Amino acid sequence: MPVVTTPHAFNEEQLYVDLHPVLGLPLHLKVEGVNFAGSIKLKAATEMVAAAERDGLLTPSSVLVESSSGNLGVALSMVAASKGYGFVCVTDTRCTAAARRLMRAFGADVHVVTAGGQAGGGLLGARIAYVRALCAADGRHVWLNQYANPANWQAHYRRTAPAIVRQFPRLDVLFVGAGTTGTLMGCARFLREWHRPVRIVAIDSTGSVSFGGTPAPRLIPGLGAGVRPPLLDDTYVDDVLHVDEADAVRTCHRLAARGFLFGGSTGTVVTGATTWLTRHGTPGLTAVAIAPDLGERYLDTVYEPAWVRTHFGENTLTPGGAEDTAASSRIPHGQGLH
């Protein structure tokens, strides 16, 4: 049993769920929410703070600042509390009330943006504009900038991808959700250098512009972006699927009905993986999807029937009320670079 003195010292790397009994498809889910921050974002938070410390950007009086839809904000608030830094999270109305309460419990200052900025980019653009103004007004504030910080993807190059191939040395395809694309780029870069070709499938939300999609409002935080992520290099990506949020919600409920409570991002990734495997899966294929978070923070949204009905319609959770999935391919299978 591990014994830790700091909360970020613990992160379970070896937990997988075999989803074949639930989906009837060969898919293993890497569970990333078993840590004190509750999500995969603990890795990026820890790595970015450590890099800023190595580079001499932080002093005892520094106040960390980040734009986040929730999970990274929670992780950074925990790391900041552990290390004695202040922390300001700039988020928006899609951030769950549970995530905001968690950040404040750790001592963070949470600023909620309620409208998109004048310069475009939607809520994300408005969040970044607020961060820039905050840093310009007070030199104590240090923006880690998860959107462009190489330590974001390096965390997954060093930890997430190596952990997966240790468990699955015959890996054929990896499904990764696309938010800042730190997880996607870190895993893709590692696997490009690995001795065995692995197909990288990015899962994005309908309404996200990361891969050139048409912008549209999105309600579930974590995946998707209103501006193209600076970290993204899509030459490392073989396929892209966009998933409608209603289908992600249905997948979350399908998993919960079997006792697995996962977050909205995980529901999106599993929906996309299910679509891809249904179209392209072959016998003996080894497939892994990354589950960024667990579901407790979504009890008032994804798992609240009234919220689901309000935003997605009366029949969203009714069996047969909609198609099983609406994920759409954006890069056809077979046109990747491997």
Q: Within 13 Å and on the Cβ side, how many CA atoms surround 130?
A: 24
Q: Cα angle at 310 between 309 and 314, to 5 degrees? A: 30
Q: What is the pLDDT of residue 334?
A: 41
**How far apart (Å, rounded) are the C-alpha atoms in residues 150 and 78?**
21
Q: What is the pLDDT of residue 335?
A: 41
Q: Evaluate whether 51 touches 151 at the Cβ level (below 8 Å).
A: yes
Domains and CATH numbers, the chain: 7-35+150-329 (3.40.50.1100), 41-143 (3.40.50.1100)
Residues in Cβ contact with 292 at an 8 Å cutoff, skipping those fewer than 6 apart: 32, 33, 39, 40, 41, 71, 177, 183, 222, 263, 265, 266, 269
Residues in Cβ contact with 157 at an 8 Å cutoff, skipping those fewer than 6 apart: 186, 187, 189, 190
Closest CA to 275 of 327, 322, 239: 327
Q: Centre a 10 Å sphere on the Cβ of residue 60 and count the other Cβ atoms it contains.
A: 7
Q: What is the pLDDT of residue 338?
A: 35
- Residues of the chain short of pLDDT 50, as ranges, are 321-326, 332-338
285, burial (CB in 10 Å: exposed 0-12, middle 13-18, buried 19+): middle
Backbone region of residue 38 per phi and psi (left: phi > 0; alpha: psi in -120 to 50; beta: other values): left
**How far apart (Å, rounded) are the C-alpha atoms in residues 307 and 313?**
9
Q: Centre a 10 Å sphere on the Cβ of residue 137 and count the other Cβ atoms it contains.
A: 8
Q: Evaluate whether 252 touches 264 at the Cβ level (below 8 Å).
A: yes
